[in-house]
Structures are given as C-alpha cells and as structure tokens.
Amino acid sequence: MATPVLTGREAPKARPPASPPPGRLADLVSLVRPGQWTKNAVVVPLGLLAAPRLDGGALGGTLAAVGVFTLASALIYLVNDIGDRDRDRRHPEKRHRPIAAGRTSVATAVSFAALLAVLLVATAGLTVLTGTVAPADWWPVAAYVALNAAYSKGLKHVPLLDVFVVALGFVLRLVQGCLAAGNPVPSWLVLCVLSLCLLLILGKRRHEMAVGGVLHRPALRGYTLGFLDQLLAFTAVLTAVSYVLQIQTTPAFGTHGPLVAVLTAPFALFGLARYLQLIVVDSGGGNPSRALFRDRMTVSNALLWIVPLTGAWLFGQTGPWR
C-alpha cells in the first residue's frame, strides 16, 4: 500500500516546544512574584526611622502597611502580565511566564486579579475598623495603584518617565510606612529611596539594552549605553549624599547622628560601587533583587553595615545617647 503523502497545504504547522507545566497552583503563585515581596518588607518599615522611639502601635501599623502593599503590588504584577502577554511571548525569558506561555488562561488570571483586589480592600478596611491605620492614611496605596495603571496604559513606553514612575512606587511605599506608623515623612529619606531605586532600575534598563536591544521595551529607544552610564553615576552620587544627610538627622540616633553617618558611610559607598561593578563590568542587573541578594560581597557588606546601624539604633532607643 502506498504511503499517503501530505501536500504543503495539508502539512501541519510546526509549533515551538512548550515549556513543561509547573502546575496550576505554582503558576498562580509565580504570577504574584513572591520573590519581589521583599521590596515591601524592606522599604515600608523604613518609615520607622522617623520615630524617636518605637511602640506597639507603630509596629502594628507598619506590619499592616507591608501586608496591604504586598497585595497591591501582587495585583499590579498580575495585571501587567495580562496586558503584556503578547510582548512577553517575544522575550527570551518572559515568554516562560504562565500567561505568556499559555499555561494560565486570561480568564483565570482575571479572576485571580479580582480576588486579590477584594483581599486588598478587605485588609485595608480591617485595619481601619480596628483603628490600626486611619482611612485617610491609605492614600499612598491608592496612588500606587493609579500610578501603575497609568504606567501600564502608556507611561512605560515614555523614556525617563518609565523609570521615574517605578521609582515613585517605592517612595509611596516609604510614605505609607511613615503614615501607618504615625511618623512624619523625612525629606532626605524620600530623596535617598528615590535615587537608590532609580539607580537599580537604570541598571536593569542598561542590562536589557546590552542583552536584548530595544525590541522588547519601546522606551529603550530613548536611551543609549553612554546616557545610562551617566545617569547611573549621577543617581549613585545622589544616593550617597542623601544617605549621609538622612543618617545625620535620624531622630533615633539623637545628637550622635553625624558619628553614625561617618561610621556607616564606607559601607554605603562600597555597596553602591559593588552594584555599579555588577552592572558595568559583569553585565548583570537584569534582576536587581537577585543581583543584590545573591552576590556574596553585597550580602557580606550589608551584614557588616547592619552592625553599627543596629547598635546606634539600640543605644538611641534605650537612652544613653539622648
């Protein structure tokens, strides 16, 4: 019997091999980026630095702010993945994300996003009912959601605005932490967080441009490697200066703020220099969190840095420096 021959018209289309399915639950968890939750756990509690002394109310408000902002950021990550699924399919790494890879349907992702939105509102409402945080003090979360909605709608394609909007999201985390703890918002700390976040985001943009060009992210058309290197240097200097000024004026350090600034400035400078080395020399920075938390030199420097800061803070809390 003759073997049937498929014509070109009848031949099936070749499809790229699908990535192995990790499982529906694992995919849903990955959509909310649990690895990125450390950003909220690190930035929001910085609002406690504005308090001369800690109390239970400030700690409770801070924990609530971390939880609410974690839900808000998870919701934003999920909505962005839904909107960017077509562009992510053309990216060498992002094409493996659950929605872009087709492992999670858009309908399922939308339902999950609705659930997160309900949890977000319910959690914030619970803190209001219990008196942990005043209703008006949740405006940074609302601003964060609105800002990211505008980012997804088009601001992410505008050079410079694309990085400033993301950095402002971290400033809003800081402001939320201050309000939830009942503390004033320190201006130097705001500037330090803004410039540091700009440094990290610009490093990520530099890595994207060096590795993949401008095809995946349209905003990269407004940058060059030389321009990004200048911005990295500028924001690194601004971060160092604002850090020193903030430490000098931190209420918890009392009159010894200048001494604490001198003792800890070398660690800050080394950390900034090491990050620039990872970006420019080692061509890293595609994932700033991974670059920082998995680099041994950075982690070791951070652990040594914490020692004088914690010691100074404890002295400030117990009274010897006041």
- Give a yes or no: residue 7 inside a domain: no
250 and 190 belong to one structural domain: yes
153 and 224 belong to one structural domain: no
State the Cα–Cα distance between residues 113 and 35, nearest whole angstrom: 18
- Structure token digits, residue 84: 């960017």
113 and 191 belong to one structural domain: no
State the Cα–Cα distance between residues 153 and 303, nearest whole angstrom: 40
- Give a yes or no: residue 296 inside a domain: yes
Given 146, 166, 184, the domain boundary residue is: 184
39 and 180 belong to one structural domain: yes
199 and 176 belong to one structural domain: no
175 and 142 belong to one structural domain: yes
- Give a yes or no: residue 52 inside a domain: yes
Phi-psi region of 6 (alpha: psi -120 to 50; beta: other; left: phi over 0): beta
261 and 238 belong to one structural domain: yes
State the Cα–Cα distance between residues 110 and 117, nearest whole angstrom: 11
128 and 233 belong to one structural domain: no
Q: What is the domain extent for residue 76? A: 22-184
Given 147, 165, 184, the domain boundary residue is: 184
Given 150, 184, 218, the domain boundary residue is: 184
180 and 199 belong to one structural domain: no
110 and 169 belong to one structural domain: yes
pLDDT in tens, 118-150: 999 999 999 999 998 999 999 999 999 999 999
- Count of domains in the chain? 2
Q: Domain with 41 in it: what CATH number? A: 1.10.357.140
Q: Look at residue 110 and tell me whether its pLDDT is greater than 90.
A: yes
**Rounded mean pLDDT of the chain?**
87
For 69, 76, 175, the CA distances from 169, given in Å and listed in that order, are 10, 11, 10
pTM for the structure as a whole = 0.85
109 and 146 belong to one structural domain: yes
Which pLDDT belongs to residue 139?
96
Q: What is the 3-state secondary structure (H, E, C) of the chain?
A: CCCCCCCCCCCCCCCCCCCCCCCHHHHHHHHCCHHHCHHHHHHHHHHHHHCCCCCHHHHHHHHHHHHHHHHHHHHHHHHHHHHCHHHHCCCCCHHHCHHHHCCCCHHHHHHHHHHHHHHHHHHHHHHHHCCCCCHHHHHHHHHHHHHHHHHHHCHHHCCCHHHHHHHHHHHHHHHHHHHHHCCCCCHHHHHHHHHHHHHHHHHHHHHHHHHHCCCCCHHHHHCCHHHHHHHHHHHHHHHHHHHHHHHHCCHHHHHHHHHHHHHHHHHHHHHHHHHHHHHHHCCCCCCHHHHHHCCHHHHHHHHHHHHHHHHHHHHHHHCCCC
- Give a yes or no: residue 87 inside a domain: yes
Which pLDDT belongs to residue 319?
60
pLDDT in tens, 3-42: 444 444 444 444 444 454 556 888 889 899 898 888 899 9
Q: pLDDT-derived band of residue 311, with 50, 70 and 90 as boundaries? A: confident
State the Cα–Cα distance between residues 72 and 288, nearest whole angstrom: 20
- Give a yes or no: residue 321 inside a domain: no
Which pLDDT belongs to residue 297?
94
- Structure token digits, residue 42: 């690190």
- Give a yes or no: residue 5 inside a domain: no
Identify whether the C-beta of residue 40 lies closer than 8 Å to the C-beta of residue 66. Answer: yes
191 and 270 belong to one structural domain: yes
